[in-house]
Amino acid sequence: MIKDIRKQAIVYQIYPKSFCDSNNDGHGDIQGIISKLDYIKDLGVNTIWLSPIFESPNFDNGYDISDYQKINPEYGTLENVDQLINEAHKRGIKVVFDLVVNHSSHQHEWFKNSISSKSSKYRDYYIWRDGKEGKEPNNWGALFGGSAWTYDEKTNQYYLGLFSPQQPDLNWENPNLRKEVYKMMKWWLNRGIDGFRMDVISLISKPQNFPDGKLKKGSQYAAFHPLVSNGPRIHEFLQEMRNEVLNQFDTISIGEASAVTLDEARKYASLDRSELDMVFQFEHMDLDGGESFKWNDRKINVVELKQCLSKWQTGMEGKAWNTLFFSNHDQPRVVSRLGDEGQYREKSAKMLATCFYLMKGTPFIFQGDELSMTNTTFKNIDEVRDLESINAYHDFVENKMFTSDQMLRYISLKGRDNARLPMQWNDGIYGGFSEAKPWIKCNDNASVINAEDQLSRADSVYHYFKKLIELRQSKNVFIDGKYELINELDENVYAYLRTDENETILIVCNFTDQKIKFDCDFECSEVLIRNDENSTFINDSMLNPYETIVLKKSINY
Ligand code: TEU
Ligand code: CA
């Protein structure tokens, strides 16, 4: 039987720029990662995914690549990468790289060539269109502000950049481009990496009529997502990639698929592995969004969260494979978003991990979540590094939609830089991340929340994560068992069952800072894990604030 890699994988996401700085220049680097492999291994994960470390002018922190086969010197060298692969493999850890091929950097040689003339061999590697009546070819807005089209005076055409003008979209209609991408992927796999996390892969096939979209409220631009996601040739392209590349190696492939529907996800991540192994869907991440995109102070409603995640759990059952994540380098910290940053920080972090990681799918841990790292407060826009937040700040403040104080508050609640603050290793200067001033500020709470402290305390979040991972890997029911939500409309408690032919497990999570009564018909034979030594739940159905408890059902013969 072929071992299904998806079922065993536990992935730890590293944001290299903020993980560990080995040479004290303020930027994280590959040697820094190597120095922490034992820490990662000890947590119990078996796969690491690195956000991009390739050559890049860094308009979007490496998600704008100017050479796919060169390493950004900030991170080190190709030799360092070989060493990283080697050291990781020695420890039984697989290495997954980020593949950013919906777009490149505008400084990629292909683009420089493409923009140079209409007859360039590389013209068609990108998406060029004539203007319409002296205006952009259509009304799509770029995700990071402005139009998605940029005018080039010399050749009198517009090119498409769905994210920003510094990230021109590659033209997947062109078979030569696709071949180049596959060649590059094989080059990395031959070098020893184990797979790819594919950036916005659901956007690579554009509808060739480039239709206008519905204008966003208060904007001259339309959102492109509904028109471009899961485009006409997407499944053809991914099947081609599967045959040409992924099947030639023992790989793991994870697609980032914003705006994916359940129907589409079943194709992308089908159990027959004809396309990708799994996809990130973002429905649960968008639950606190609104008309002004993410810029608001809405909290996620627990009933909506349950309904959303359960839809994906049951909808994928027997057909396709899920990912389990609630944070990454584009999201605020999960404990700040859904838990409690104050009194119950550690307890709520344990509860959230239990809730998400015991569902069906592959768990993804974002660096620092195992320490319950939190959001920060950005007091001034100068402290912000993220292109998205900076552009949004100026747009919304200039358009008088929000005051600058309001925008700073929203950026502190939802901005991507929250996840990108330096990893907190100890209570020393800059949280032990570096001895030099880091590229982005450190969280003030590094003296309290750090790995050294967490490792030293048996009751820490870190040690709880470790136990949780061990538990998950020790029972087939967590891997193959069915998921069933119970008490759907309870506004405080998220509880669900996992069941296989041998056993039934109940997972109960109190999402509030209150004592809550939670009645359910379940005769328990064993407590598998809990975050509260004083729990009385088994006797009186009472849950303490942010309590989580995982129970095995007794079997009556
Ligand atoms: O993100 C794609 C994406 O659409 C969202 O995650 C989006 O960037 C975010 O929600 C906006 O708040 C990927 C990468 O993860 C992200 O870091 C890059 O900026 C983006 O693609 C462009 O490459
Ligand atoms: Ca460095």
- Please answer whether residues 265 and 323 qualify as being in contact, where contact means their C-beta atoms are separated by less than 8 angstroms: no
Digit-coded pLDDT (tens) for 163-172: 999 999 999 9
Q: Which two tokens stand for residue 465?
A: 């994560």
Position 554 scores a pLDDT of 87
Query: How far apart, in Å, are the Cα atoms of 320 and each of 253, 273, 274, 480?
Result: 13, 9, 11, 12
Q: Which two tokens stand for residue 201?
A: 């892969």
Q: Specify the residue with its C-alpha closest to ligand 1, atom 4.
A: 258
Please state the atom number of ligand 1 nearest to the C-alpha of residue 293.
12
Catalytic residue among 29, 60, 199, 388: 199
Is 540 catalytic? The answer is no
Q: From ligand 1's centre to the CA of 234, what distance in Å? A: 19
Q: Specify the residue with its C-alpha closest to ligand 1, atom 14.
A: 199
Confidence band for 161, pLDDT divided at 50, 70 and 90: very high
- pLDDT averaged over every residue in the chain: 97
Digit-coded pLDDT (tens) for 136-160: 999 999 999 999 999 999 999 999 9
Confidence band for 1, pLDDT divided at 50, 70 and 90: very low
Task: Indicate if the alpha-carbon torsion angle 339, 344, 346, 351 is positive or negative.
Answer: negative
With a cut of 50, say whether residue 116 has pLDDT above it. yes
Query: How far apart, in Å, are the Cα atoms of 487 and each of 93, 303, 496, 551?
Result: 39, 10, 8, 16
Residues in the chain, overall count: 557
Give Cβ neighbours of residue 1 (< 8 Å, ≥ 6 apart): none
199 lines ligand 1 (CB under 6 A): yes
- Please answer whether residues 454 and 432 qualify as being in contact, where contact means their C-beta atoms are separated by less than 8 angstroms: no
User: Half-sphere exposure of residue 117, counting CA atoms within 13 Å on the CB side?
Assistant: 3
Q: From ligand 1's centre to the CA of 296, what distance in Å? A: 18
SS3 of 8, please?
helix
HEC assignment per residue over 214-267: CECCCCCCECCHHHHCCCCCHHHHHHHHHHHCHHHCCCEEEEECCCCCHHHHHH
Digit-coded pLDDT (tens) for 415-450: 999 999 999 999 999 999 999 999 999 999 999 999
387 lines ligand 1 (CB under 6 A): no
169 lines ligand 1 (CB under 6 A): no
**CA–centroid distance for 118 within its chain:** 37
Position 46 scores a pLDDT of 98
Confidence band for 462, pLDDT divided at 50, 70 and 90: very high
Query: How far apart, in Å, are the Cα atoms of 225 and each of 85, 204, 261, 281, 437?
Result: 35, 11, 12, 13, 38
Is 199 catalytic? The answer is yes
% of the chain residues with pLDDT over 70: 99
- Global pTM reads 0.97
Digit-coded pLDDT (tens) for 360-409: 999 999 999 999 999 999 999 999 999 999 999 999 999 999 999 999 99
Cα angle 338, 344, 347 (rounded to 5 degrees) comes to: 85
Give CA–CA dist 536/207, Å, rounded: 57
Digit-coded pLDDT (tens) for 267-322: 999 999 999 999 999 999 999 999 899 999 999 999 999 999 999 999 999 999 99
- Please answer whether residues 427 and 454 qualify as being in contact, where contact means their C-beta atoms are separated by less than 8 angstroms: no
Query: How far apart, in Å, are the Cα atoms of 442 and each of 19, 433, 501, 534, 554?
Result: 12, 9, 49, 35, 48
Q: Specify the residue with its C-alpha closest to ligand 1, atom 23.
A: 63
Position 200 scores a pLDDT of 98
